[in-house]
Structure 1
Amino acid sequence: MSENPAAETPSNGPAQSGWESVIEDMAATAEEYRDDGWTALELHPGDSVLVDSEMRTGLDVVLPDPEYEELESLTADCVFADVDVFRAEHGRMIYLLVVEKDPDRRTAVFVPAYYDPSSGQSKLETIDSDGTFTLFCRRLNDDYVEFVHDDVGPFLPAALSDGQ
């Protein structure tokens, strides 16, 4: 336990609570898909961050190696042509549950993510102006699977996606 009360940030409680809610929603939604006969892969990123570099622009989620390998194997046989995005804004954070779907193979990949729009405003503006949102699911060695979306609105903060 910390002896320095200033080092304890009360805002972590709601942030942690928001993330736990996303994970719980993911588990419940994935179970509904399974009950309906779908293959559902739930991912559990260790980190999630907006990126804008020469290499990648979008949202980067870092996966444990076993989950990444399962995702890589699954995406080799599927065409993810549909997506559902569930977005929640809590305090400073944006929480996403992205469901990448291959309706023909009845396969869905559930990607929970989060980001702080205040620390990534220029990255969000680049994504908005480019009109493409790319979700990079990667492992630490920088291998990645990407999901590219032409409708950026569901991924962006409401104020930005509403054109305000």
Structure 2
Amino acid sequence: MNDHPLMGKEAAWEAVVADMEATAEAYREGGWETVELHPGDVLPLSGVDIGVDVGDEPGGDATDASEERADWSGLDVLLPGNEFSAVEAVVEASTFDESEVLRTREDGVVLAVVVMKASAEKQAVFVPLYYDIADIAGVANAARSAGRLELALRPLSNDQRVLFALDDPELVLPE
């Protein structure tokens, strides 16, 4: 059984979350509204059925999980219910058109914060991520082939998804 990617890297994760909070504060000082997320788990998934049809343009829709898509690859991000509700509300009211990625690496684990931005609405969603480089090959291949890395944000109930896509997957993937 593999250890959790953050085992022994708790201080590095805490530093990433602190950086996220400081960056979000700087955005708020600049007049942006922010949603900061605190995932319970982040799983690289490749070629799986996540129960949604994400279409060609993920990034602006909260999607009901009743439709099918059996070939999805990306990072599955588990959120507390209240945080999922907050991001779902922002996504329904905004058009996300930019992203920013802050990334570091600690002993074979990538730690990152993805900032999805809706410039016109001055909304920003901060998604901290982590994954073990040994577990990302399938997702990395799919992302490089598609030219984008998809993030599926979901609550524990696993009945809905908010989907984002990064047009430059190399910002999150390992070198």
Which amino acid is 1:152 matched to?
Answer: P
- 1:1-164 matches, cutoff 5 A: 12-13=7-8, 15-52=9-46, 53-55=48-50, 56-142=72-158, 143-158=160-175
Task: Report if aligned partners of 2:35, 2:125 keep a CA contact under 8 Å in 1.
Answer: yes
Distance 2:172 2:136 in 1: 13
Task: Pick 1 or 2: higher relative contact order, CA cutoff 8 A, min separation 6.
Answer: 2
Name stretches of at least 5 consecutive residues in structure 2 with no aligned partner: 51-71
Which amino acid is 1:39 matched to?
Answer: E
Task: Report if aligned partners of 1:51, 1:60 keep a CA contact under 8 Å in 2.
Answer: yes
Deviations for 1:13-54, whole angstroms, at most 9, x for unmatched residues? Answer: 3x1111111100011000001111110110000001111114
TM-score by length of 2: 0.80
Q: Which residue of 1 aligns with 2:53?
A: none
Distance 2:30 2:142 in 1: 38
Distance 2:151 2:104 in 1: 17
Name stretches of at least 5 consecutive residues in structure 1 with no aligned partner: 1-8, 159-164
TM-score by length of 1: 0.85
Task: Report if aligned partners of 1:117, 1:124 keep a CA contact under 8 Å in 2.
Answer: no
Distance 2:172 2:14 in 1: 19
User: What's the secondary structure of 2:128's corresponding residue?
Assistant: strand
Task: Report if aligned partners of 1:30, 1:40 keep a CA contact under 8 Å in 2.
Answer: yes
C-alpha RMSD of matched pairs (Å): 1.6
User: What's the secondary structure of 1:153's corresponding residue?
Assistant: helix
Share of identical aligned residues, percent? 36
Which amino acid is 2:135 matched to?
Answer: S
Task: Give the greater-gyration-radius structure (CA).
Answer: 1
Deviation at 1:141, TM superposition (A): 2.4
Point out the more displaced range, 31-40 or 134-143.
Answer: 134-143
Distance 2:109 2:90 in 1: 30
Corresponding pairs, count: 148
